[in-house]
Amino acid sequence: MKPFDIVLVPIFPSEGERRIRRTVQNGLLLSEWLDVPVRILLVGDSSSPARQWAIQQAWQNDRVRSVSLSGKPGHLAELLREVSAFSHGLVVLAADPTGFFGSSQALKREKSAFVERCQLPVWIIPARMALSAAPASSVLVALSGEYGGGGGLELAVRLGNLKRLPVDILHVTSSRPSREFDPSVIAQVRDQFHHEYHSLVQELLAQACPYLGPHDCSVIREFCHSIGDVRSEIRSRVRGRSDRLIVLEWKGSLERGRARKIKLMIRRARTPLLLVHESGAARSRLRIGRDFGLAR
């Protein structure tokens, strides 16, 4: 099963020509790479040259479909309804030099609200990243470490199998862990030689991707548990690697907790990011963690 069956490209009313062209081009690139169709969601007036260009892409490319939505108050709710109709869709957004959320306050509010409320994975292309036929050559999953996971690892493993990409897992816990602020199931186990540590890691990985078997998970190359700041740890592992996809699980508001750190990472991103919203829905376990021989 493919991780995604369609690429969704929303175009907001206050977006400029440069961002529109870059977003659509990245959507087309990802659709070819994933071998799935594209749906361009034009919010607001479609008469500008850049929006007309986006519509032309729909006419010229058999892979593309274009849909125009209203630009009236409440258009964000309409856009979210359109996006939510695709349970296995991938939303694509492009950053620009002024920052992912844009230079205008209106665009910042729209983008922030959309990302917070969108339940589908969001692929963000950083402004400094050049377009490439292969958007990613490896995957790094920043695992939250909560029981059940947020779906990020399962998506990464499916993508790794589809495109033959190695998948690395990074789990970062605070230097001063507490159950109130760090819900990780292994945060309290400080010694990796502790007799419970290995079984906890096995259980964590099994819960994070319960619908995949050992053969699927063979693309997982490494599990690394670090103590410190998650942003610093991620930066150290992607330095000089603009083609490494970072998968980030998050929930709640972009202004609080771990999600606020993700917002800061978006602004400074030099590698593609895949944001996976933790829905909090219960997930079934199909097997025990001992099926995996990954922790080390």
Instruction: Report the pLDDT value the prediction gives residue 63, as an integer from 0 to 100.
Output: 73
- Closest listed residue to residue 214, CA positions, set 285, 161, 291: 291
Residue 289: pLDDT over 50: no
Instruction: Report the pLDDT value the prediction gives residue 282, as an integer from 0 to 100.
Output: 37
Q: What percent of the chain has pLDDT over 70?
A: 70
Residue 204: pLDDT band with limits 50, 70, 90: confident
Q: Between these two residues, 162 and 225, which has the higher pLDDT value?
A: 162
How does the average pLDDT of the chain come out, rounded? 76
Predicted TM-score (pTM) of this structure: 0.81
pLDDT, tens digit, 9 for 90 and up, residues 93-146: 877 656 556 566 777 778 888 888 888 999 988 766 666 667 889 999 988 766
Instruction: Report the pLDDT value the prediction gives residue 221, as an integer from 0 to 100.
Output: 92
pLDDT, tens digit, 9 for 90 and up, residues 267-287: 667 788 899 987 644 343 333
Name all domains of the chain by residue range, CATH numbers in brackets.
Answer: 6-125 (3.40.50.620), 138-291 (3.40.50.620)
Instruction: Report the pLDDT value the prediction gives residue 263, as an integer from 0 to 100.
Output: 66
